[in-house]
Amino acid sequence: MGRVKNLEEIKAMVRERTGKRNIFRRARREEVEFVLGRLTSKDPELWAAEWSRVAKPYEEEGAKLEKAGKLKEAREAYVMAYTYYTTGRYPVPHVQGKRECFRKSLELYEKAGRYFGPPLERVEVPYGNKTIPAYLRVRRGTRQPVVINFGGIDSFKAESYEYDEALQQAGLATCAVDMPGVGECPIRGSTTAESLYSAMIDYLEKRPEVDPKRIAILGRSFGGYWAAKMAFVEAKRLRAAVVWGGGVHYFFQENWLRESTNAESYLMDHDVARCMAFGVKTIDELAKIFPTLSLKTQGWLDKPSCPMLIVNGKEDLQTPIDDLYILLEYGTPKSARVFPGGHMGQTPETLPTIVCWLKSELQ
C-alpha cells in the first residue's frame, strides 16, 4: 500500500499544485500560504475550518457586488469562494466540517453559475424513486451536441468547471454530474451503477436544446471507468466517449488496489474516498468488491462500442497504463493518446486534444 503523507509533505504538495492543478488551480498563493501557516495537524476539521476562513470574505464580497449590479465581478468572487470551500471539503467530506464546506461549495458555485455564459441550470433527473442532481449548460433556441462530463472519487460535478468552459468554447453544450458514490450522486458504486448514466441520456434526449443523436460522455480519473463502460452499454445512443485516466481491468485487481491506495500523486485521505464511494469501511472490504468491476471479467471488451478516445500519462501511479492498452486489444477499433507524466497525462496539450477530438466526433 502507498505511504501516507505527513503534514509537511501535504503542505509541499499543495504549494506545488497552487495555480496549476485540480481544486488549487485558481487558488491565490498568498491565501494558500495563510492557510498552510495555520495548519498545525492533519485534523480534517481544522483543514475545513481554515479553508472556510479564506472562503467567507469572497462569499460576502460576491453578495455585495451582486446587490450593486456588478454581476461579472460577483461571479468571480463567488467562484473564488467556491474554490476555497471545495478545497475545505477535499478530497472527501467525511467529517462534519468538510460536509459543511461541501454544502457551501455547491451553494456558491450555483450562485456564480447564474452569470456563466450560457448560465448554469441545476436539474434533477428522474432515476427510479430518486433524482440525479446535474449541472446543465445549453444555449437556447438551437439543438446542439452535449457532453456528459464528470470526474472521479475526489472531483465532484462543480469541479467540471474548467472542462465545461473548454467544451463550451468549442460550441458544445455540457452536463456535469457526480460519478456513482461521490458528491450528490444518489447511489454508490457497483457493477450496475452505470444505469445512472443511461438515465442521464434518457433525460437529455428529451431536452429541446439537445440533439439526441449527438450525445457524448467524458469521464476523468475514476470517472473514466464509467465512460468506458458506457461506451459499450450505450454504444448505439452515445456518439463518442472519452476515457481519461480511467481503469478498466488491471486497476481493479487486489494487488493494484493495495499498491495504488495513497499513491505519491494522491494528496491525502484517498483510502477513505475510495471506500466511501462503494459504501465500505476498509480497503480489505473494498478488495472483495473491486475485481467484479473489471470490464474484462464482465465480458464487455469484445462487444461493439461507440467511438472511444483513451488518454493517460504513461507514468500514472493511480491507474495502470496497461488499462489503456487492453482497451485497444479488443472489440471496436479505438483512438488513443499517451502523454508524458503521471495520472491523466496532464500537459498543456491534453485537454485541447480531447476537446478537438470530441468536436470532430460530434459534428
Q: Mean pLDDT for each consecutive 10-residue tract of the chain (363 residues)?
A: 78 92 90 97 96 98 98 98 96 95 98 98 98 97 96 95 97 98 97 98 98 98 98 98 98 92 72 92 95 98 98 94 98 97 94 98 96
d(CA 109, CA 133): 14
What does the pLDDT read at residue 264? Answer: 67
Class of domain 7-113: mainly alpha
What does the pLDDT read at residue 1? Answer: 47
d(CA 86, CA 91): 9
d(CA 343, CA 318): 6
d(CA 46, CA 328): 45
Helices (H), the chain: 7-17, 29-38, 44-67, 71-89, 96-113, 161-169, 195-206, 223-233, 254-260, 270-277, 283-289, 322-328, 350-361
What does the pLDDT read at residue 262? Answer: 67
Cell of 36: 498552510
Residue identified by cell 454508490 is 188
Correct CATH for 121-361 of 1.10.760.10, 1.20.1070.10, 3.40.50.150, 3.40.50.1820 = 3.40.50.1820
DSSP-based three-state secondary structure for 203: helix
Burial 204-214 (b: 16+ CB within 10 A, else e): beebebbbeeb
Domain spans of the chain?
7-113, 121-361
Within 10 angstroms of residue 270's Cβ, the number of other Cβ atoms is 22
Burial of 335 (C-beta count, 10 Å sphere; 0-12/13-18/19+): middle
- For residue 23, the Cα-to-chain-centroid distance in whole angstroms is 11
What does the pLDDT read at residue 313? Answer: 97
d(CA 10, CA 4): 10
DSSP-based three-state secondary structure for 60: helix
Q: What is the pTM of this model?
A: 0.95
d(CA 146, CA 136): 9
What does the pLDDT read at residue 169? Answer: 97
